[in-house]
Structures are given as C-alpha cells and as structure tokens.
Structure 1
Amino acid sequence: MKLDIKFSLLVLFSILCLTTNAQYSNIALVKKHINYLANDKMKGRGTGSKEVFKAADYIEKYFKKLKLQPLGEKGFRQSFEAKVWKVKVADSIRKADNIIAFLDNDAPLTIVIGAHYDHLGTGQQGSSKDSLGVGKIHNGADDNASGVSGLLELARYYSTNNLKESYNFLFIAFGAEELGLVGSKYFTTHPTFALNKITAMLNMDMIGRLNPAQGVAVIGYGTSKKWPEIFNGIVPSIKFYTGHDGNGGSDQTSFYKKEIPVLFFHTGGHPDYHMPTDDPEKINYPGLTGIIDFEIMVINNMLKQTEKLDFQFTN
C-alpha cells in the first residue's frame, strides 16, 4: 500500500511537471528563423528595402507551409506606405507590407498574435543609437527577429497540434514598426478581419535577451480584468513580471487604442538595442523558447474562457 501511494504521488508529480513546465517550442527552428532574418545578407531589413521584402517572402512561405489561410488584401499581403520622418532622405515614402494568416477553427472569437519583422537597415532611416552607425548593418536579432521566431513558432504549434481550439488565430507580421508602429496602425484602421471579433492581441517585440534573474515583462496586464484569472496556476520555466499599462513602444498599442485587451512580451533594453551589434549569437535561445512555451500556457488558459474578454483603459 505504501508503494502504491508513492507511485501515485510520482505520477501526480510527473503530470504537474508536464502541465507547468511543458516544452512546446523547437529551439532548432527558432535559431533557423533568427539566423535567416538577422543575417548580414538581410542588411537590417530596413523599410522599403529589397531585403525586408525577402523577409516578408520568408514569413509568407512559412505560413503557406503551415496551410494557414491568407487574410491580407492580396493573398497574405496587406500593402501600405510608410514615411521616414526622423531623418531627411530622398526616398522618404516607402512601400511596406503586413503579412496576415488565419487559422480558422470555426470559432466566434479570435486571438491575434503579432510581431514586427522590419528593423533599421543600415542606419539611414534614423533611430540608430550608434553615432557612427550610418552605413553599418543593424541586424536586429533581438529587435525583432526574436519576436518573429516566436510568431512563427506559435503559428506552427497551433496549426499542427491536431486540436480544433475554441478560438481562431490571426497571425500578423507587421511592417514598418520602426517608423512609428505604421503597420499595426494601418491594420487597425483598415482591418482585414472584424475587430469586434478579436478577444485579445498578444505582441512579441525583443524577447531574445532574457535575464534569468529578472524575467520577461508582460505588459498590458491591466487591460482586462480577466488576465489575473488567466495567469492563475501558470508556472513557467522562466521568471516573469507584469506591467499594467496598455500603451507602449510597440504594436500592441494600436490594438489597445481600439479597446482590445493586449499583452506585450518583452525582455527589456540592453547595450545592443538599435546598434549594429544586435546579432544572433547574443540571443538567449533557451530563454527565448521558455518565453514561447510560457505564451502557449497563457493562450491555453485563454482558450478556457467562454466569453470575450472585457476591456479596460489603464490610464
């Protein structure tokens, strides 16, 4: 009888470990995405460059591989124009695209998952923190190849897990974020999907430089009264802390202004932010996959909700 009790406790402990520290993400795929997007050959993915369109092609091809539905205005693409305004350049008006894919689960409500895929190029469009950085490639491994890798991993997980979830998913790779959240602003003012059917938006921007002692910031925790309930019981492999505000320097802000609850995952600033030194070898890959797994835990708890999340302004 004592042996049976010990065995039962061992089984229970194993189940708890699986539910709290489950590994969903694939570190090899995460590295592959970042090493492609943040390679010197991509020349920093500046808005309007041929390299940023190659990045868009890469994301679109991956969405197609996952057999997601195109939900842009022309296939997966939603095209718009963005203006370079921090510095004077001859080509201040540049073409850009959002890449939009839909996982249809025949559900009444949808979760949006987003990340921007553009960066600073070779410094000519402004925002470089390097006073001598014009002409140098800004690879943007953390900002935001890391977030795109998370976007693609979440798309892969939910489209291949052989489950028909209780919510649909809208995956959006935003263009021209570095020029002022232009892509997300364009989507929320020219939506290809009804905004009133979106229950929440989760954004990933700079999730690649986790400090294990500090943890990942989850900003937007105050945008719905339901977030504490959703986070209850989640025990990820990484530390996290919450921030109340819905506004912030990334694409979730555009959705918050449309009265949609948001969460923004972010590992904070570092000396390589907006510098030519933001390179793939500096990414904390175990930390990054831990964050992706954490997000899946959050989303899985969101899937238990039976009604649209309430919204509240945070200031």
Structure 2
Amino acid sequence: MKQIAILTIWLAAAGAAMAQETAPSPERISATVNYLASDKLKGRGTETKGGEKAAKYVEKEFKSIGLKPAVAGQYYQHFVFARGNHYNLRSKNVLGYIDNGASRTVIIGAHYDHLGHGELFNGRYPNEIHNGADDNASGVAGLLELARHYQGNGVKEPFNFLFIAFGGEELGLHGSKYYTRYPLDSLGKAHFMLNMDMIGRYDAKRGVGIGGYGTAKEWPEIFKGVQDGGIKFFTDGSGKGGSDHHSFFIAGVPVLFLHTGGHDDYHKPTDDAPKVDATAEAGILKIAIQLIDNAMKFERLTYVSQD
C-alpha cells in the first residue's frame, strides 16, 4: 500500500512537472522575440539573408520540439510570387506536424517575415531596419509555444496538428494564399485555423481581440467557460482581415485570429523587442489553449460564410 501511495505521488509530481514544462513561458517567448527581432536579422525581409535565417530558426525549433517535417520529408514549402514590378520573389512556408492518427487537423499559424529595410514595401522609413518584434516575432513565439504544448503534454489528442510559419505575409498574404491553393491535405479535413499576428503589445484597457467568432456555429459554445486569468479578451465576428487567417476563411475553413491591436510603432523601425510584454503574451496563449481544447470536443465545426 505504501508503494502504491509513493507511486501515486510520483505520478502526480511528474504530471505537474510536465504541465509546467509545456505551459507557455515568458522566458522562451522573450528569447524567440529577441532573436527574430534582433538587428542581425535585419528585419526578416523577403529574399534577404535575415528572412532566410528566420525560416531556419523556426525549422530548428520545430525539430527540437519534435514536430515531424510536413512536406515530403522536409519542413519547407517553397513558392514564388510577384509584387508590383518585382517578379519571381522567392519565399517559403515552414511547416511542422503532429500526427495523432486522426482524420482531421487543427492548423495553427503565424507569419515570420517582416519589412526588412522596407525595400519591397515602399514604406515611410527606407533603409532603416524594421525589426518587427510585435509584427510578427510575437506571433512566431506563440506558434512555438503552442507547438511545444501539444507535442509535450503527454496527451494523444483527437486531432492532428499542423503548425505553419508563413512567408510573404507583409507583401500580400502570399504564404497563406499559396498554402490554401496547394494544401498538404484537403482543406475539408481542417477542423479550424488559428492565426496569431501581433500578440505582443497587450493593453489592459483594450484587451486582446479574438476575431473569427462568427465563422463557425459552434464558437459561442466553445468560448463558454474560458477563464481569462487576468488577460481581458473580446470577440469579433469577422473571418476576413489583413492577416493569414483571411486566406483560410475564404477557402471555407473556420478561423480564429488573435491580435492585441495597433500601436504607434506599427510598421516602423521602432517596433523593437523590449516593447513586447512576454508575460501577457503567455496569458494570451493560455486562453488560446483553452479554446483549442474546447474546439476539439466537437467532431466537426460548422463553417459560416460571410458576405
């Protein structure tokens, strides 16, 4: 009996340690943002060495977490696109997979690219590094934290997971457009898509916005009972918008979109890592985990179109 009691205590302690290890970590969030938004990546522009380094960083992290390569044995989905007078611009999506042997898949995404020196964006601050800490190093940090959670929580979930770091978002959502045109599996098998873009500048007065509330009939039920843990949130019905969830919504996939709102540093060289609130972001990701877990209680979500 004593041995059983000791084993029970040990299992409880091991479970608590695992939960702590896979919980969103402000320290890891800060480390990701600090690297991706450092001057040495020079703004992660499309077709730049910094952009390539960012993609390689995500690939390395996917491998470390234990995600499987999703594209014929590799993590990259290459594509080309045009913007204005610039043709054959090359970029890539970085994809990692958790195969739970399920028939349907939860897709979680965030874009890793930013404006570089503004070469292709025609911005207001040419030749200055746009580090893009909030936009969207913060979202990539969230992507990696959610990947770590669902890979390491010790639960075989009833859905597979596909994690996508999109390229080419700043120049017209090109990575998500390409993926929805050439998905690895039928989009009809996608349970929903959750997108994180600019989740690092939490304002307690505003709260974090969660878009896409009107894109599935079941979202109101899924949101019931979600605890905010001190992070205020509000919902918006639209599935459309200026980030990668838009591509999935118009392709017929229910979506959620997490966003902490605009600020004075948006698309400016002043969007730097010290301004990201990693502790609040960890709280936002805990809300995301609750929503994902609640959504997995439904075998299928009912897509709702919006005119």
- TM-score w.r.t. the length of structure 1 is 0.88
1:26/1:47 CA distance change after superposition, 3 Å: same
Distance 1:25 1:167 in 2: 21
Specify every segment of 5 or more residues in structure 1 that has no aligned partner in the other structure, as ranges.
Answer: 1-22
2:155 is the counterpart of 1:163:
yes
Q: Structure 1 residue 107: deviation in Å?
A: 1.3
| CA-to-aligned-CA distance 1:76-119 (integer Å, 9 cap, x gap) | 1000013232xx5xx64321000011101111211000000000
Partner of 2:234: 241
In structure 1, what residue type is equivalent to 2:284?
I
Task: Quote how far apart the aligned CAs of 1:74 are.
Answer: 6.0
Name 1:47's counterpart in structure 2: 46
Kindly provide the amino acid, as one letter, of the partner of residue 122 in structure 1. Answer: H
Distance in 1, matches of 2:306 and 2:194, equals: 17
Is the 8 Å Cα contact of residues 73 and 192 (structure 1) preserved in structure 2? no
Query: 2:211 aligned with 1:212, yes or no?
Result: no
Report how many aligned residue pairs link the two structures.
Answer: 285
What SS class does the counterpart of residue 43 from structure 2 fall into? helix
Q: Distance in 2 between matches of 1:114 and 1:73?
A: 19
| CA distances 1:106-139 after superposition (whole Å, capped 9, x unpaired) | 11211000000000001111153xx3x1000000
Counterpart position of 2:69: 70
Bigger drift between 283-292 and 272-281 goes to 283-292
Give the counterpart letter for 1:112 in structure 2.
Answer: I
Query: CA RMSD, aligned part only?
Result: 1.3
2 CA distance for matches of 1:74 and 1:127? 37
Shift of 1:173: 0.3
Counterpart CA distance in 2 for 1:309 and 1:290 is 25
Residue pairs, 1:1-315, within 5 angstroms: 24-72=23-71, 75-85=74-84, 92-126=87-121, 128=123, 131=124, 133-237=125-229, 238-305=231-298, 307-315=299-307
SS in structure 2 opposite 1:115? strand
1:72 shift after superposition = 2.3
Instruction: State the TM-score, normalized to the length of structure 2.
Output: 0.90
Distance of 1:146 and 1:51 partners within structure 2? 17
Q: Supply the distance in 1 between the matched residues of 2:193 and 2:113 (Cα, whole angstroms).
A: 19
Q: Which runs of 5+ in 2 are unaligned?
A: 1-21
Match of 1:12 in 2: none
Structure 1 consecutive aligned stretches of length 4 or more whose deviation exceeds 6 Å: none
Are the equivalent residues in 2 in contact too, given 1:83–1:179 (CA < 8 A)? no
**2: CA distance, partners of 1:158 / 1:295:** 12
Seen in structure 2, the aligned counterparts of structure 1 residues 154 and 127 have a Cα distance that, compared at 3 Å, is farther
Specify the code of the residue in structure 1 equivalent to 2:291: V
Shift of 1:181: 0.2
Residues 109, 198 of structure 1: 8 Å contact kept: yes
Which string of whole-angstrom CA distances, capped at 9 and with x for unpartnered residues, describes residues 4-55 of structure 1?
A: xxxxxxxxxxxxxxxxxxx921111101100010000000000010111110
Percent of aligned pairs with the same amino acid: 49
Distance 1:93 1:46 in 2: 15
Report the Cα offset of residue 308 of structure 1: 1.1
